Structure 1
Amino acid sequence: MIKVLHFSDIHLGSGFSHGKINPKTGLNTRLEDFIQSLTLCINRAINDEVDLVLFGGDAFPDATPPPYIHEAFASQFCRLVEANIPAILLVGNHDQHSQGNGGASLCIYRTLAVPGFKVGDNIKTHTISTKNGEIQVITLPWLTRSTLLTRPQTEGLSLEKISELLIEKLGAVLEGEIRQLNPNLPTILLGHLMVNRARFGAEQFLAVGKGFTIPISLLIRSEFDYVALGHVHKHQNLNPDNNPPIIYPGSIERVDFSEEKEDKGYVFLEIEKGRVDWKFCPLPARLFCTINVDVSEQEDPHKVIIKAIEKKPIKDAVVRLIYQIRSEQLELLNMGEIHQALSSAHSYSIKSELISQLSRLRLPELGVGKSLDPLEALKTYLENKEHLRDIVNDMLEAAQLLLNREEYDQELEVLQEELF
């Protein structure tokens, strides 16, 4: 069995706004979080003496990261060279120039001829020799329309027709690689793709207008023993039948609050021709925590906010506090105490959302098509206004007097018409 470690979407250099400067290192603490997660991936590869490391693309937020971030990435991957572990670095959409050509952030490893490293910036089959045998990997980097079709081929066509041509062209190119495979060797497809069956997060919008969605039917092939994907940050298996497994390992750290509830990690697998055993391995990514509380109807909004904070596991987490409040309640808040309550967080932000005094509570009982006695309607409304509950009876009594007076006036008017 050949042991493989598959991970993706490092995004080293992301999320600085959620961190702070570490005075001991001079680095942003969120950069240190991403480096730690990457270090744990490389540690597992070395400690378990894997035969091959597959990186599914998106090393950095863009194709030209600052030198110190590039150095942090290189220092970890070079540990694989020292351990004689080959690696394939696939080019993702963030690794390309804005024009979508080339893999500027990763091609340096090919230029420097780093031993054992292969850069996957085109559709190509790589045969890798390992201590436990040979394995073949088809690389499928992030593709754009210009990668597969020329401008004359797409001129005047609808987007739907262009997409059909793209899928047709990709299918033909991929078929060409498949027909050249050695049928006796285990085969992996390594792709940075947006697949139509995937559950997307924020990354779905990171390449709007540049890439295209690939039907999963192109990936479910008997020739593939395992399909290793990158691009989608949420770990998932797109083919639960596992024939073959089509796996997004997800990103290795939380980039922002859209990934708050997602597990982060990598995939460890053992593979031979016709058989693969894989397992998702979680990483201790830093927690993100949202505290959302509506205090607009509370008598003591400050106390409610403090209690909401105390209920959440905010220690060393990236926290955002969002509260809804009326303008006249603002003076009831002690912001110093709120900041103190959040002080155990790694970092935090506070956002208030002012509720208009004219906004009305939506009650199903009072909706269109509902017919309630006027007093019952008023009672329903008052009972849902906490700050009016202590005068409900008085207001209902006053309303009853008004209704009685209105009925008396109506009866008097009818009597006068009859008499005169």
Structure 2
Amino acid sequence: MKFIHAADLHLDTPFVSINNFSNSLQEELKKSTYTAADKVFDTAIEAEVDFVILAGDTFDNTERTLSAQTYLRDQFSRLASHNIRVYMVYGNHDYYRNDFSVIGFPDNVTVFNDDISTAQLKTKDGQTVGITGFSYYQNHISDDMVAKYPSRGSFDYQIGILHAGIGDQNYAPFTVNELLTKGYDYWALGHIHKREVLHQNPMVVYSGDTQGRNQNELGTKGFYLVSAKNGITQSEFVPSSVYVWEDSRIAAIKGDTMNDLFTKITDVLDSYRQSSEKFLVTLTINDAQNLNEEVVKALDRGEVLEHFSKNNFNAILYKIYSKYNRDAKLVEIDQKYWDESESSIFNLDDIKDLDSRLFGEQVIRDHINDPAFISHIKELTKNTINKKYIGD
């Protein structure tokens, strides 16, 4: 038996901050989630799998586009012509509604609704397989949904599909031990955009997303091709990302000119030349206080980024961040005043009260409630202060 475990295709992801790229590159990025999805379905046919599992957030938004629905219908029809079934759940981004699909899917597709249920099939090698899952019915689910999953049935092989976060109270919280008590052979997880094997036997696996969507989703993305024979499960990671997001750093030293800066950035981009993959690089310039005023102005105006957008590298410079540091003798004094003001300045209740209509937007709430986002804002604030008082 063979199957594919993929998740978080996020078709129609709106890539941001790409206006300085060429029109052709912008189009390629916007199509990248589809190109990555092509790899999933092409691999299913080439490997002659029995079925494909899509573990949530296939669409980027519950207001899915007609083109995304048409694309999936056509791909599912391709799979049907090769006797490949599809089992999919909807996640927090594309949560389930009774009228969700304007365009219906072919008969080889099983979409789990908001009630936990088990589908059955017989594979080419004669194994009976049970697949258990549910779709989100709203953006957030705080219930322990795993507690409602049935224990292992009388199948040769049983799979659980779950779009959730470990201990995350907003997204069907669970623990690995809780999954293991069900006795399943494989847990196909979605939601976390980073592939991770949480347990080996039985396998509990996040496949990650198939195409990185922003600068925080680093590294090669893809899905798993899974085989099960004689009670042994084996998995192979299959890369699918069109562009790989990378994070690189250089250091500015006293006396660095624009030419020096160009040389350092060129060396970074050139280091990716031998790879067959294409990269989007976010570059941080450490100790930017060492740069002279004219170089800093060129960075702030986006001229350096614009310059490298016209160069033919295997890696594309996506953003440049300048990190300014204070004199070491001032750090202790600065930290004292920062600690005194931090709790009042970054009070979440005050931020939420600034504009209740703005906080009504889901994306705003998600960001404000994300500790990593608040930490990022604090770092940006420190950096701005350090830049302003260079030389004081």
TM over 0.5: yes
Task: Check the 8 A contact 1:327/1:354 in 2, yes or no.
Answer: no
Task: Check the 8 A contact 1:143/1:211 in 2, yes or no.
Answer: no
Change (3 A) 1:108 1:125: farther
Q: What CA distance in whole angstroms lies between the structure 2 residues aligned with 1:89 and 1:351?
A: 39
Give the match's secondary structure for 1:211. Answer: coil
1:135 offset after TM fit, Å?
1.3
Name the aligned partner's letter for residue 312 of structure 2: S
Give the match's secondary structure for 1:305. Answer: helix
1:130 offset after TM fit, Å?
3.4
Name the aligned partner's letter for residue 237 of structure 1: V
Q: What CA distance in whole angstroms lies between the structure 1 residues aligned with 2:240 and 2:291?
A: 45
Deviation by residue 1:102-155 (Cα, 9 ceiling, x = unmatched): 3765x457xx361210001231010123333331101133477997xxxxxxxx
Task: Check the 8 A contact 2:129/2:155 in 1, yes or no.
Answer: no
Work out which of the two has the higher radius of gyration on C-alpha atoms and give 1 or 2: 1
Structure 1 counterpart of 2:214: 256
Q: What CA distance in whole angstroms lies between the structure 2 residues aligned with 1:132 and 1:89?
A: 22
Task: Check the 8 A contact 2:225/2:235 in 1, yes or no.
Answer: yes
Name the aligned partner's letter for residue 33 of structure 1: S
Q: What CA distance in whole angstroms lies between the structure 1 residues aligned with 2:259 and 2:178?
A: 56
Deviation by residue 1:74-98 (Cα, 9 ceiling, x = unmatched): 33333212222111111111111xx
Give 1:178's match in structure 2, choosing from 134, 147, 151.
151
Q: What CA distance in whole angstroms lies between the structure 2 residues aligned with 1:353 and 1:23?
A: 27
Name the aligned partner's letter for residue 139 of structure 1: G
Structure 1 counterpart of 2:112: 120
Give 1:344's match in structure 2, choosing from 312, 316, 322.
312
Count of matched residue pairs: 319
Task: Check the 8 A contact 1:58/1:231 in 2, yes or no.
Answer: yes
Task: Check the 8 A contact 2:76/2:109 in 1, yes or no.
Answer: no
Give the match's secondary structure for 1:114. Answer: coil
Name the aligned partner's letter for residue 195 of structure 1: I
Change (3 A) 1:146 1:42: closer
1:303 offset after TM fit, Å?
3.3
TM-score (norm. length: structure 2): 0.69
Structure 1 counterpart of 2:190: 230
Give 2:160's match in structure 1, choosing from 184, 189, 192.
189
Q: What CA distance in whole angstroms lies between the structure 2 residues aligned with 1:252 and 1:339?
A: 29
Task: Check the 8 A contact 2:284/2:323 in 1, yes or no.
Answer: no
Q: What CA distance in whole angstroms lies between the structure 1 residues aligned with 2:243 and 2:217?
A: 11
1:41 offset after TM fit, Å?
1.2
1:312 offset after TM fit, Å?
1.9
Structure 2 counterpart of 1:411: none
Percent of paired sites with the same residue: 19
1:337 offset after TM fit, Å?
6.4
Task: Check the 8 A contact 1:319/1:347 in 2, yes or no.
Answer: yes
**Residue 219 in structure 1 maps to residue 179 in structure 2:** yes
Structure 2 counterpart of 1:102: 97
Change (3 A) 1:354 1:220: closer
1:269 offset after TM fit, Å?
1.4
Task: Check the 8 A contact 1:141/1:193 in 2, yes or no.
Answer: no
Task: Check the 8 A contact 2:161/2:189 in 1, yes or no.
Answer: yes
Q: What CA distance in whole angstroms lies between the structure 2 residues aligned with 1:18 and 1:30?
A: 11
Task: Check the 8 A contact 2:163/2:172 in 1, yes or no.
Answer: no
1:37 offset after TM fit, Å?
1.2
Name the aligned partner's letter for residue 215 of structure 1: T
Task: Check the 8 A contact 2:18/2:26 in 1, yes or no.
Answer: no
Q: What CA distance in whole angstroms lies between the structure 1 residues aligned with 2:72 and 2:44?
A: 16
Structure 2 counterpart of 1:282: 239
Structure 2 counterpart of 1:139: 133
Deviation by residue 1:302-342 (Cα, 9 ceiling, x = unmatched): 23421321222366532334435349823246676663344
Name the aligned partner's letter for residue 159 of structure 2: I
1:288 offset after TM fit, Å?
1.9
Unaligned ranges ≥5, structure 2: 334-392
1:300 offset after TM fit, Å?
1.9
Change (3 A) 1:108 1:138: farther
Structure 1 counterpart of 2:123: 130
Structure 1 counterpart of 2:358: none
1:69 offset after TM fit, Å?
3.2
Structure 2 counterpart of 1:318: 280
Q: What CA distance in whole angstroms lies between the structure 2 residues aligned with 1:57 and 1:235?
A: 14
1:276 offset after TM fit, Å?
1.9
Deviation by residue 1:172-221 (Cα, 9 ceiling, x = unmatched): x22xx326x2x24311111112124xxxxxxx7xxxx7434212222113
1:47 offset after TM fit, Å?
1.1
Q: What CA distance in whole angstroms lies between the structure 1 residues aligned with 2:64 and 2:237?
A: 29
Unaligned ranges ≥5, structure 1: 148-162, 197-203, 367-420
Give the match's secondary structure for 1:257. Answer: coil
Q: 1:19-168 alignment to 2 at 5 Å?
A: 19=18, 28-96=27-95, 102=97, 105=100, 107-108=101-102, 112=104, 114-121=106-113, 122-133=115-126, 134-142=128-136, 166-167=143-144
Structure 2 counterpart of 1:372: none
Deviation by residue 1:383-414 (Cα, 9 ceiling, x = unmatched): xxxxxxxxxxxxxxxxxxxxxxxxxxxxxxxx
Moved more, 133-142 or 329-338: 329-338
Give the match's secondary structure for 1:317. Answer: strand
1:257 offset after TM fit, Å?
1.2
